[in-house]
Structure 1
Amino acid sequence: MSCEKKWIFVLLFVMALMMFSFCWYNMRSITWHPSLVFHCNSQPTINYVNTSSQFDLLKQDFLHRMLYEKPNALSPPRSDVLMMTPWFAPIVWNGTYNIDILNTQFHQKNVSIGITVFAIKKYTVFIKTFIETAEKFFMVGHKVNYYIFTDRVGDIPNITLGEGRQLVILEVPSYKRWQEVSMRRMEMIRDHARQRFVNEVDYLVCVDVDMMFSDDVGVEILSHSFGTLHPSFYAASRTRFTYERRQQSTAYIPTDEGDFYYAGGNFGGTVEEVYKLTNFCHNAMMTDKGNNIEAIWHDESYLNKYFLYHKPTKILSPEYLWPTNFGAPAFLKRRRFAAIPKNHNAIRNKRALRDYSRNKQKFHR
């Protein structure tokens, strides 16, 4: 190799050495940012220091001393009636709960309850008795909104209510047929649940207006969703239930299905669950109406279809819907919410209304 070529190789080696030294010197001073670090662990790194949570806003409930008889796991309070469904929903009977414990629990939650009734046409005659007895027996000590759906606002009487309780009158259209009124109430409850009730109350109780409270009805009835055993079918077989049996109807229930027959005159739950129930019933009714079908017991038929496939989380015994003209069987310890005996055709004429107004005091206890 010539001398000239040797000097060229030496020069290239020196230049490479200088470049390597320069790069190494600059690389020493680099501060690596955490974002440049690659982690093999697939779980995210969580910094628990100085973090906040919505749980920080929770307030500790104040615990009160309570004295009551100790429950006995081997001695049920009632052995004459069914107290629990196969899907673990309690059936509410007298003697199966402690109302003082329940009141304390619901007061801690600061719940408010809405109760809906429909006073359409001359059914406004029942409002006074309904509210006066409710003030005496319904959810005493709790916040209550009476939602009165009516087409005759001027006929609703002024009634003095207790503290934390208010009367809300909701004007609605009238309908020629009572069947239409019965079915349309699902639509009205649904729409108001979505637009208003959800902002005002925690639970809804949906009942008939031609009723009276004759004993305590409290927070023991409240649950995610609840229905009431019909007083005519609490001990009946499935084949005797007056379900809708026509397969063309959306309310159809086969003869080999069914748990209980639920009354349309007393149901409820949280506002969200009542919205789901009434939305289902109304949509099913409209489907049938489009096919010229009307379920045998109108909104009650669709209510039973809903509860068959969306099991209620609590069931009220017939104590919570018992006609005043029915006898009292041995298992019925209390009659809390009673249907007032009436002639449906008679209340459509003025003379019968005058007779009812003169004699209604006999229904009070």
Structure 2
Amino acid sequence: MLNKKARVYFSCFMLILGTLIGFLLSKWSEIGSLGWREPDVITLTVRMPENGSLPSRMIYGKPDIAKAPRRDVMVLSPWLAPIVWAGTFNRDLLMEEFQHKKYRIGLTVTAIGKYVKLLKKFLESTERYFMKGGMVTYYVFTDRPDKVKALSLEVNRPLKIITVPKYPTWGHVVLGRMEILKNQSEVLFQQEVDYVVSLDVDMVLFSHIGVEILGELVSVIHPGYYHSPRKDLPYERRPASQAFIPEDEGDFYYQANFFVGTVQRIYQLATACYEGIVKDKANDIQAVVYEESHFNKYLVYNKPTKLLSPEYIWMNNLWRLKDIRIKRIVHGEKKF
């Protein structure tokens, strides 16, 4: 049996323990989400106008020019294009500017053959995480429009189905995408949107993708090669191909499954890639990574105006996570 003094100590201990447990339980939703919390989102104060003399505006801390936003990664390319990482921008401030200008965004996705089955999950994630508060139109390129309609997609944004040819192989599909983008930029996009965002259907968004991705010509650094030396980048090295890049040239290796740009710049990119693909085909050549080889060739000589870090297109089979604070998109989720 415990003596009186021991019982008092035990009661105090249990009281403190119970209080601590209660506090942790009340904060459990916050604690459980820390691993996925956006490190770059800061809530800003909105100051309302006084007597109509000044417009409403956001109040935020003064930037410190001597303080780097990230010290562990490159945040500016050698040609002065920003590289977007978590912690390098303020989404609230960007959104304020974006809403004033009322940009229209076209999100394109190709759903061919059995890949139509992935469209529902893709759009569910874009509805939740893509460009919240923006004017977005979905453009679905598909050879099975009836199958797309049968999915009974529940989206709160305009969705346009654009029928494309039935391709014999997946290789023809990826090579044909640049022709589709070229044609639609001429006849449709220039009338309806300011920016085009191209994504693959086997992607799932896990965190917010906002106006920080917008730019004149924007590409994503490949997560599998962002620490690789130039000699290990999977460029097309055969001089006979239109996608040829000499061994002493090249900056980064970019993924062709996520890129952004103004309608004019996307048209120029898609046209150059399409023409290179056609010339290679006439010479019975297929670039080593299909249209992605031509895409990288174009960007070597037409530098992107903004780069997105590998966090914007991660792959779960990759092990390196030291400098990836958040996985915004995961690619390769092919569960039919």
Q: Partners in 2 of 1:63 and 1:254 — Cα distance?
A: 54
Report the structure number with the largest CA radius of gyration. Answer: 1
The structural deviation recorded for 1:63 is 4.3
Correspondence 1:212-361 to 2 at 5 A: 212-327=204-319, 329-342=321-334, 356=335
Matched, 1:126 2:144: no
Q: 1:29-68 residue pairs with structure 2 within 5 A?
A: 63-68=55-60
* Aligned mates of 1:134, 1:64 — CA distance in 2: 30
Of 155, 158, 169, the residue aligned with 2:152 is: 158
Per-residue deviation, 1:177: 1.1
SS of equivalent to 2:208: coil
Aligned-CA RMSD value: 1.2
Q: Residue 104 of structure 1: which of 89, 96, 103 is its match?
A: 96
1:202-248 superposed Cα distances (whole Å, 9 cap, x missing partner): 00011111111100101100000011000110111110000000000
1:118, 1:208 within 8 Å by CA — same for their partners in 2? yes
Look up the equivalent residue of 1:130 and give its one-letter code.
F
Query: Offset of 1:180 from its aligned partner?
Result: 0.7
Aligned letter for 2:61? E
Aligned to 2:79: 87
Give the SS at the match of 1:168.
strand
Q: TM-score, normalised by structure 1?
A: 0.75
Correspondence for 1:168 among 138, 147, 160: 160
Letter aligned with residue 211 of structure 1? M
Q: Which amino acid aligns with 1:331?
A: D
Amino acid at match of 1:159: L
The separation in 1 between residues aligned to 2:103 and 2:55, in whole angstroms, is 17
How far does residue 69 in structure 1 lie from its aligned partner after superposition? 2.5
Residue 200 in 1 paired to residue 199 in 2? no
Q: In 1, distance between residues paired with 2:76 and 2:298?
A: 20
3-state SS of 2:58 partner: coil
Indicate if the aligned counterparts of 2:213 and 2:260 stay in contact, CA closer than 8 A: no
Residues 251 and 305 in structure 1, CA contact (< 8 A), matched pair in contact too: yes
Secondary structure class of the residue paired with 1:231: coil
- Where does the alignment leave 5 or more consecutive residues of structure 1 unmatched? 1-61, 343-355, 358-365
Give the Cα separation in 1 of the matches to 2:132 and 2:60: 21
Q: State the shift of 1:328 in Å.
A: 5.3
- Helix, strand or coil for the counterpart of 1:269? strand
Asked if the contact 2:104/2:193 (under 8 Å) is kept, the reply is yes
Counterpart for residue 30 of structure 1:
none
> 2:92 aligns to what SS in structure 1?
helix
Between the aligned partners of 1:99 and 1:194, the Cα distance in structure 2 is 32
Counterpart CA distance in 1 for 2:55 and 2:127 is: 29
Pairwise CA distance, 1:326: 2.9
How far apart are the structure 2 equivalents of 1:203 and 1:326? 31
What CA distance in whole angstroms lies between the structure 1 residues aligned with 2:241 and 2:126?
37
User: 1:106 Cα shift?
Assistant: 1.0
Stretches (4+) displaced over 6 A: none
User: Hey, what does 1:4 align to over in structure 2?
Assistant: none
Deviations 1:223-280 (A, max 9, x none): 0001100011011111000000000001000110000000111112001100000000
1:121–1:152: 8 Å Cα contact kept in structure 2? yes
Q: Pick from 84, 104, 128: which aligns with 1:136?
A: 128
Residue equivalent to 1:14: none
Q: Give the match's secondary structure for 2:293.
A: helix
* Residue-by-residue CA offset, 1:60-112 (whole Å, 9 max, x unaligned): xx943212222110011100000001111000000100111111111111101
For the 8 Å contact 1:325–1:341, the answer to whether it is kept is: no
Letter in 1 for 2:249: E
Equivalent residue for 1:347?
A: none
| Counterpart for residue 188 of structure 1 | 180
Q: Structure 1 residues 341 and 327 mapped into 2: Cα distance closer, same or farther (>3 Å)?
A: farther
Distance 1:173 1:291 in 2: 23
Q: Deviations along 1:98-140, whole A, 9 cap, x unmatched?
A: 1111111111111011111110000001100000000000001
CA distance in 1, matches of 2:56, 2:75: 28
Aligned residues: 281
Q: 3-state SS of the aligned residue for 2:239? A: coil
